[in-house]
Amino acid sequence: MATIIPFNLQKAKGRTADSSHWDSPNHVYKGYPYLAPGLPLRSDMQWYTDPQRHFGTWVVNASPYPIEFNGYQYGWSGLVYKSTAPVYESANVPSLLMRKHLAWIVDLEGYGQYGIVEENGTLWVPSVRPEGWMPPEEQ
């Protein structure tokens, strides 16, 4: 059973979108989203910027497809999309250290999801592709 924690309105008084709100253009670090948060942890990491939606993130693309937004077609879970470019910003990640490790990770068939690149280059994704999973159009 879930616990409901009331929002503390006193903490929100006097704050504006420009103060420290996650949606503010300066919510991450100076130069974001046009500058990467540091050097890539792997040789196949590329810094991707979406100027229309004003965000940037690392992309590790194992597919043969170019990095581009392909729409909102889900994969095997609600975290996975058939898109080589991220379909949304992983919001509220203000830590520069975390941004160095956060990446849109794309598999060989072009399905991507946010995951973590560890210091040694190992990739971690929250939703591993189930064995035998096939896209609906191939079933």
Q: Could you report the per-residue pLDDT of 25-83, keeping only the tens digit for each? A: 556 788 888 999 999 999 999 999 998 888 899 999 999 999 999 889 999 999 999 99
Residue carrying the six token digits 């159009």: 137
Looking at residue 54, its pLDDT comes to: 85
Cβ atoms of 125 and 81 within 8 Å: the answer is no
Looking at residue 31, its pLDDT comes to: 87
Rounded-to-integer distance, Cα 73 and Cα 79, Å: 11
State the amino acid at position 54 in one-letter form.
H
Residue carrying the six token digits 């910027």: 49
Looking at residue 19, its pLDDT comes to: 40
Looking at residue 126, its pLDDT comes to: 95
Written as six digits, the tokens of 64 are: 């043969």
Residue 104, SS3?
Answer: strand
Looking at residue 23, its pLDDT comes to: 47
Average pLDDT over every residue of 92-97: 79
Question: Closest Cα partner for 128 from 74, 79, 68?
Answer: 79
Looking at residue 4, its pLDDT comes to: 55
Q: Could you report the per-residue pLDDT of 114-129, keeping only the tens digit for each? A: 999 999 999 999 999 9
Q: Which long-range contacts (CB under 8 A, 24 or more apart) does 50-57 make?
A: 50/85, 50/86, 50/89, 53/88, 53/89, 54/25, 55/86, 55/89, 56/32, 57/86, 57/89, 57/90, 57/99, 57/102, 57/103, 57/104, 57/114
Looking at residue 22, its pLDDT comes to: 44
Q: Could you report the per-residue pLDDT of 99-108, keeping only the tens digit for each? A: 999 999 999 9
